[in-house]
Amino acid sequence: IAGITQAPTSQILAAGRRMTLRCTQDMRHNAMYWYRQDLGLGLRLIHYSNTAGTTGKGEVPDGYSVSRANTDDFPLTLASAVPSQTSVYFCASSENSNTEAFFGQGTRLTVV
C-alpha cells in the first residue's frame, strides 16, 4: 500500500441497506477526513478525525458514522442508505490539521 487506499472503487446499493466504505493510509498521518463530492458543489466534509480515538462531525454528517480505532483506518458507515447519498466519496488524510490533505481515489456509490 502506498498513500491512501479506498475500497470499494464503486458500488450499487439498494436503499435501506447498510454499507461501510473503507479507507486506509500508510503515511502515519494524524488527521483523516471523509468528503462527498456532488456535481456543481464543492467537496463537503462528512466526518473527520484529528487523531486516533477521536472523531468529529463535519458539514453533512446525518446518516453517516465513523470510527478511528487506530491511526491507519477510518471507515465510513451508512446505516440505512437513501438515494440522496448517491455521490462520490473521498477519504483524505493529512499530517495534522495544518497541512495539506492527500486524497484516496474515491468510491462512487449509487443508491437505488
Partner 1 sequence: GQNIDQPTEMTATEGAIVQINCTYQTSGFNGLFWYQQHAGEAPTFLSYNVLDGLEEKGRFSSFLSRSKGYSYLLLKELQMKDSASYLCAVRDSNYQLIWGAGTKLIIKP
Please report how close the Cβ of residue 54 comes to partner 1 at its closest, in angstroms: 14
Buried b (16+ CB within 10 A) or exposed e, 56-75: eebebbeebebebeebbebb
**Is 92 or 111 the residue whose CB approaches partner 1 more closely?**
92
Residues facing 31 on adjacent strands: 94
Strand partners, 73: 24
Q: Between residues 14 and 98, which has the closer beta carbon with respect to partner 1? A: 98
Rounded to whole angstroms, the Cα distance separating 40 from 50 reads: 28
78 binds partner 1 (CB under 8 A): no
Kindly state whether residue 104 participates in binding partner 1, applying the rule CB under 8 A: yes
Q: Is 11 in the site for partner 1 (CB under 8 A)?
A: no
Sign of the C-alpha dihedral computed for residues 98, 2, 58 and 106 taken in this order: positive
When binding is defined by CB under 8 A, the residue of 45, 61, 67, 86 that contacts partner 1 is: 45
Contacting positions for partner 1 (CB under 8 A): 35, 40-45, 48, 58, 90, 97-98, 100-106
